[in-house]
Structure 1
């Protein structure tokens, strides 16, 4: 039986995309500050996961990115190895993991309440969430981005990188991932090995389709470049009611 992943452990087959091995493999360097909603989640000044700013005081990310140490959210960054004037470093006031997240695959989503509001400008800007009733079709090209490592045992990318993956039908996702994939709460994608895609270090980052964030990077096969296994994202649309309630101040909601 296949083991369930946790961000703390390196397991045989599955791995959360927020680990420390690989990130946006191949891809291209993003135009500086062209994605002002991107957030680098850091512990002890080291990038661990991605996230997206959805309001001046809230960042959306994956629940498995949470650790026991205090997290710092870095906004307005392109080069995370530099103290760019565009950057805003803000501590997290509260972690709102989905109450049904158990450390496994499902409900892998978290809201971070910032200790102070971000200053919105041309470098830092919130991204609008999708509408609940928008259908996600198969074979749609979507952008993924992050600062993860660029290959096995390679260092993290200091510059934001991005590439394109295509949405895959839920039937195909279910056939491959079986009980680990939930049609209602997840999206999966196919990817070209030369163009690359997400992997460890990119958890919590967005899957952006037609200009809207549709998914949050969740899990992959341990070899993230293995095209037999689609990359899996938490479906944002399903969790819109929960997101809205948490941002309105209701903490223990589902």
Structure 2
């Protein structure tokens, strides 16, 4: 691939309309989110992901690129050579077949090897029931920390409160919010995800309940709540893809 194309892909990943980041958050306790994955292209972080099986990472379909990702697990600092880090290459990208650029924004990545589960690298269970409103959750990522295209070096996290479908649809207006999406806001104004957080998890009660999908023009603006792909709506698809690929 030509170098100009690589630059264009990185711009789409970092600054595209649906790319997302943590603003108004805090440093995560090092290695306290051992399911987190950094999806990288030529050494630069582009999207987040979550380890759902030793050789599969779940992320957002809009993160898909036509070249393999480097997947880094067990990291806290993006630029540090931490002994806890494990690095892989993607061999298969499986976006949801009904992804249309907006809805069904979910994708599985198959790794070239099996991760070694350690204190810093762990699987996260998938939420298997529908998530209601006013749930206290957390999202995390290495994305933009100031809505100014400044990626975090250390993993960030922020508290999230889920919203009802009616409330979310009312705030978004003409933008369709499907039942397979879940919305949330931070504890105050301009707290939430942003560029580079795409594909990362919404974690509720220790389980993955959502995948970071899209937000408004300003990151963390409660007038346009953060939107996640609802994992419980796709749990059967996720398990089916994993089982089918492992049986080959």
TM-score (norm 1): 0.87
Q: Which runs of 5+ in 1 are unaligned?
A: 1-5
How far does residue 178 in structure 1 lie from its aligned partner after superposition?
A: 4.2
Match of 1:214 among 206, 209, 216: 209
- For the 8 Å contact 1:149–1:156, the answer to whether it is kept is yes
Aligned residues: 236
* 1:201 and 2:196 aligned: yes
163-172 vs 175-184, which deviates more?
175-184
Distance 1:211 1:181, change over 3 A: farther
Indicate which of 38, 41, 57 corresponds to 1:43. Answer: 41
Counterpart contact for 1:17–1:217, Cα < 8 Å: no
Q: Structure 1 stretches (4+) deviating beyond 4 angstroms?
A: 6-11
2:7 is matched with none
Q: 1:237 to 1:194 in 2, by over 3 A?
A: same
- What residue number does 1:111 align with? 108
Aligned-partner SS, 2:209: strand
Is the 1:95–1:112 Cα contact (8 Å) retained in structure 2?
yes
Query: How far 1:136 moved relative to its partner?
Result: 1.5
Q: Would you say the 8 A contact 1:205–1:217 is kept in 2?
A: yes
Q: Does 1:128 align with 2:125?
A: yes
Q: Which has the higher helix share?
A: 2
User: What SS does the aligned partner of 1:241 have?
Assistant: helix
Task: Determine whether 1:187 maps to 2:205.
Answer: no
CA distance, structure 2, for counterparts of residue 99 and residue 153 of structure 1? 33
Q: Deviations over 1:122-171 (max 9, x none)?
A: 1101111122xx23121111100000011132521110010101000001
RMSD over aligned CA atoms reads 2.0
Q: Secondary structure at the match of 2:244?
A: coil
SS of corresponding position for 2:48? strand
**CA gap 1:28/1:100 in 2 versus in 1, 3 angstroms:** same
CA distance in 2, matches of 1:151, 1:55: 32
Query: 1:67 corresponds to which residue?
Result: 65
Partner Cα distance (2:68, 2:245) in 1: 23
Q: Distance between the aligned counterparts of 1:59 and 1:10, measured in 2?
A: 22
Give 1:61-100 correspondences, 5 Å limit: 61-100=59-98
Question: Corresponding residue for 1:3?
Answer: none
1:248 equivalenced with 2:240 (yes/no): no
Contact 2:13 2:196 in 1 (8 A): no
Alignment partner, residue 169 of structure 1: 164
Q: Is the 8 A contact 1:105 1:180 kept in 2?
A: no
Q: CA deviation at 1:250?
A: 5.8
Spell out, residue by residue over 1:183-202, the C-alpha distance to the aligned partner (whole angstroms, 9 max, x if none): 42100012234572111110
Matches of 2:221 and 2:116, distance apart in 1: 40
**Aligned 8 A contact 1:163 1:195 in 2:** no
d(CA) in 2 for partners of 1:71, 1:227 = 32
User: 2-side partners of 1:38 and 1:112: how far apart?
Assistant: 14
